[in-house]
Amino acid sequence: MSKDPAFLFYTSDFLTGTMFMDFEQKGAYITIMCLQKEHKHLTEEEICKIMPVKLWESIKNKFQKDNANKYYNKRLEIEIKKRNDYTDSRRKNRNNSKLTIESYVPRMEDVNINVNINVIKKNIEEFIAFRMEIKKPFKSQLSFNKWIKKLIDLSGDNKDAMIVMLDNSIANGWQGIFSLKANKPSNTVLKGDFNDVPGKYDHLKPKN
């Protein structure tokens, strides 16, 4: 894990806290805080190597000693910890999210694949990627297996119908699949849906 290169710097608080310091004292103060960020607590000997003792004595009240007689700024210590905790929590969230997504990517090899399903494997993989993109992944391998069975049943085990059903769902942003003869979730005319062809059902109309 790479080291966090920064800490939060509250300009208003700094200006207020250094109101009665001259520029030399302010420079020394911010320098020691930067060194604290990079090297943690500092001994008085280390501090006096980079600035005159008199200058250090004039800003010494901004720091306190730890159990090892090393100096640190308490406010900076708190801000560094807060930022580290936040960064760690974001990293864990990203890792957990990645694990969750990867756990629910269905595996085609775990499906009892018939001939048609094997032929349209690429179309199914496109649909899986689409579900991931809209943040509606399959919840488990079992749910995916049952979805495959539903695809076969609704299509009548017809590979061309399967492809149209998958394409329709992706094109319309649907997470589910629908029979080409079923009621649709919108008024969108679907590719491959010929129910609206004039004269198709004329033979079913009552004769005069």
Co-location of 76 and 145 in the same domain: no
Q: Do 132 and 124 meet the contact criterion of CB atoms below 8 Å apart? A: no
> What domain range is 83 assigned to?
11-95
All residues at 6 or more sequence positions from 184 whose CB lies less than 8 Å from its CB, including other chains: 178, 190, 193
pLDDT of 145 reads: 87
The structure's pTM equals 0.46
Alpha helices (H) along the chain: 11-17, 23-39, 44-48, 53-59, 74-103, 115-119, 121-133, 141-155, 159-172
Co-location of 89 and 155 in the same domain: no
pLDDT of 47 reads: 97
Q: Is residue 56 part of a domain?
A: yes
Sequential pLDDT tens for the chain (208 residues): 567 788 888 899 999 999 999 999 999 999 999 999 999 999 999 999 999 999 999 999 999 999 999 999 999 999 999 888 887 877 776 665 544 444 456 666 556 666 677 788 888 989 998 898 888 888 888 888 899 999 999 998 898 999 999 999 999 999 999 998 754 554 444 444 444 445 544 554 555 5
pLDDT of 2 reads: 61
Q: Do 164 and 172 meet the contact criterion of CB atoms below 8 Å apart? A: no
Co-location of 15 and 88 in the same domain: yes
Co-location of 64 and 122 in the same domain: no
Cα angle 28-30-31, degrees, rounded to a multiple of 5 = 60
Helix (H, G, I), strand (E, B) or coil at 42: strand
Q: Is residue 77 part of a domain?
A: yes
Co-location of 70 and 111 in the same domain: no
Query: Residue 98 CA to chain centroid, in angstroms?
Result: 8
